[in-house]
């Protein structure tokens, strides 16, 4: 498994990686920069750490919601990428319509829950009354964005299946500019506006997400010439394709949902640790922001892997799919090591950017040290599961691995570390992320076997 360019096929593969993976990587960087800007500015807006903690915990349900959408659309991309390999755009349009139906239902369910029960949502993660109060203020505004985000994310993901990726980058760049500017205006009270603090961050986020939704809707329904999905296509349904979506897509949806639930449970564990010096929630939020920022390339190339491997399987070329899988595995190792080094080299600078208290900064540095080595395994596991195995149609195996490693091992271990042994927060983090190493080993064996190649098109 290597990354050396040997022939024209290798050159074509790397061309595809750059064409698909780089725009998605940049889009992920911009997307994460939006949430990081919120965290940094809220850190500056308060001498204590409660604003960044409140926003971080308030966004946990949005994180769960978005990862559910990742799972929903991931199943669709698994099918659509292989149909794209066959050149069957008509079937892809039907898949988009059915995914969109489910996305609307999930969006309205999640948005309604946040708007009606904000205090209950915050109470899941912390007992701190001040953090709950600030989080409720945030959710009562930002909750309206849920209704739009599910639709725009569905459209964005399905465009990726036909190798349209640049529009996502341009949209997120616009959202970033709007979010940062409005944060500066509304959080701190510039340009004659009142200083709204966390409410200002929520308003800025809501407006930025609305702009993103509007841009995607206009592009998909009026401009795009490749997928050619129009308003009349929204109501399309195909019983056989729906059955395929359930068969191959439901494991992806369930996979992402249980992974998102696990992250929410991890946030709850961190939020209930009361013996640490500093604020473990704020420290974990800062560390996670840095982790997500450095994971952008991993996510981008993993998506490129899913589309290019799936396309080869759809074309009926299993040998080419295996060759691509080997190349992507090698890339994941190199990428993980690079990200590890960058996190270690930059952790002092990145932690200072959040303007946390001295004790919380020290804790965040410890968590980033753990995160730096975790990202090596995370890179390999993500490239294998999201990229190769899903692209090859092996979605049930991905679900089984996730359930066993995360819920069967990592979560129970981290709970014992936190509440029974009361180990340092960094040790609890090691327990939380131990599933990445387990998945890395299992996925390496699976990819080498070749049994993951499953043609899912009709």
Whole-angstrom distance, CA of residue 216 vs CA of residue 233: 16
Coil vs helix vs strand at 192: coil
User: By the 8 A CB rule, do 24 and 17 touch?
Assistant: no
What's the pLDDT band for 4 if we cut at 50, 70, 90? very low
Instruction: Give percent of the chain with pLDDT exceeding 90.
Output: 34
pLDDT digits (tens, 9 = 90+) for 223-261: 888 888 888 888 899 998 899 888 888 888 888 888 878
Residue 1 forms part of a structural domain: no
Residue 3 forms part of a structural domain: no
Is residue 91 predicted with pLDDT exceeding 80?
yes
User: By the 8 A CB rule, do 103 and 69 touch?
Assistant: yes
Residue 90 forms part of a structural domain: yes
pLDDT digits (tens, 9 = 90+) for 26-85: 777 776 666 667 767 777 766 556 777 788 778 777 877 887 888 888 778 888 888 888
pTM over 0.95: no
Residue 52 forms part of a structural domain: yes
| CB-based contacts of 408, cutoff 8 Å, min separation 6 | none
User: By the 8 A CB rule, do 253 and 71 touch?
Assistant: yes
Residue 455 forms part of a structural domain: no
Residue 2 forms part of a structural domain: no
Whole-angstrom distance, CA of residue 424 vs CA of residue 427: 5
Our count of domains for the chain comes to 1
- Higher pLDDT pick, 7 / 10: 10
pLDDT digits (tens, 9 = 90+) for 338-394: 999 999 999 888 888 777 788 888 999 999 999 999 999 999 999 999 999 998 989
From the list 168, 171, 153, the residue with the least C-alpha distance to 66 is: 153
Q: Please give the residue range of the domain that contains residue 253.
A: 8-449
Residue 48 forms part of a structural domain: yes
DSSP designation for 392: T
As a whole number of Å, the CA-based R_g of the chain is 21
Give me the pLDDT at residue 404, please.
93
Whole-angstrom distance, CA of residue 377 vs CA of residue 380: 5
Residue 275 forms part of a structural domain: yes
Whole-angstrom distance, CA of residue 297 vs CA of residue 313: 24
**If you average pLDDT over residues 190-213, what whole number do you get?**
90
């Amino acid at each position: 498994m290597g990354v050396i360019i040997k022939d024209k096929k290798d050159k074509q593969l790397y061309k595809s990686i750059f064409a698909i993976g780089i725009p998605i990587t940049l889009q992920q960087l911009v997307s994460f920069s939006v949430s990081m800007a919120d965290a940094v500015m809220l850190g500056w807006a308060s001498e204590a750490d409660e604003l960044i903690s409140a926003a971080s915990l308030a966004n946990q349900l949005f994180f769960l919601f978005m990862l559910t959408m990742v799972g929903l659309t991931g199943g669709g991309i698994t099918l659509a990428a292989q149909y794209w390999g066959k050149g069957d755009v008509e079937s892809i349009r039907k898949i988009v319509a059915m995914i969109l139906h489910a996305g609307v239902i999930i969006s309205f369910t999640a948005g309604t829950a946040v708007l009606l029960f904000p205090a209950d949502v915050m109470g899941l993660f912390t007992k701190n009354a001040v953090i709950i109060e600030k989080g409720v203020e945030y959710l009562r505004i930002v909750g309206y964005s849920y209704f739009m985000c599910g639709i725009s994310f569905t459209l964005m993901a399905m465009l990726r299946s036909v190798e349209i990726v640049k529009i996502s980058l341009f949209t997120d760049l616009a959202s970033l500019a709007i979010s940062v500017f409005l944060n500066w205006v509304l959080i701190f009270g510039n340009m004659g506006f009142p200083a709204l603090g966390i409410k200002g961050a929520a308003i800025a986020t809501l407006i930025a997400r609305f702009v993103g939704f509007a841009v995607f809707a206009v592009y998909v329904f009026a401009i795009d010439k490749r997928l050619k999905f129009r308003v009349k296509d929204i109501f399309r349904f195909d019983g056989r394709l729906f059955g395929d979506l359930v068969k191959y897509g439901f494991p992806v949806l369930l996979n992402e949902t249980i992974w998102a639930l696990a992250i929410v449970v991890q946030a709850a564990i961190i939020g209930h640790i009361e013996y640490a010096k500093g604020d473990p929630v704020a420290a974990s939020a800062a560390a996670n922001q840095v982790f997500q920022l450095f994971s952008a390339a991993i996510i981008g190339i993993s998506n490129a892997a899913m589309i290019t491997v799936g396309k080869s399987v759809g074309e009926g070329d299993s040998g080419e799919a295996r060759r691509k899988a080997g190349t992507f595995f090698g890339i994941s190792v190199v990428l993980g090591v690079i990200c590890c080094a960058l996190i270690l080299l930059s952790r002092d600078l990145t932690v200072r950017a959040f303007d946390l208290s001295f004790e919380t900064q020290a804790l965040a540095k410890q968590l980033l040290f753990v995160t730096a080595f975790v990202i090596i395994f995370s890179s390999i596991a993500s490239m294998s599961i999201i990229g190769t195995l899903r692209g090859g149609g092996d979605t049930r195996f991905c679900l089984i691995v996730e359930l066993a490693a995360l819920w069967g091992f990592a979560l129970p271990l981290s709970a014992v570390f936190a509440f029974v042994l009361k180990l340092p927060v960094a040790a609890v983090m090691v327990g939380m992320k131990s599933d990445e190493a387990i998945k890395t080993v299992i996925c390496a064996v699976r990819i080498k076997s070749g049994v993951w190649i499953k043609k899912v098109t009709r």
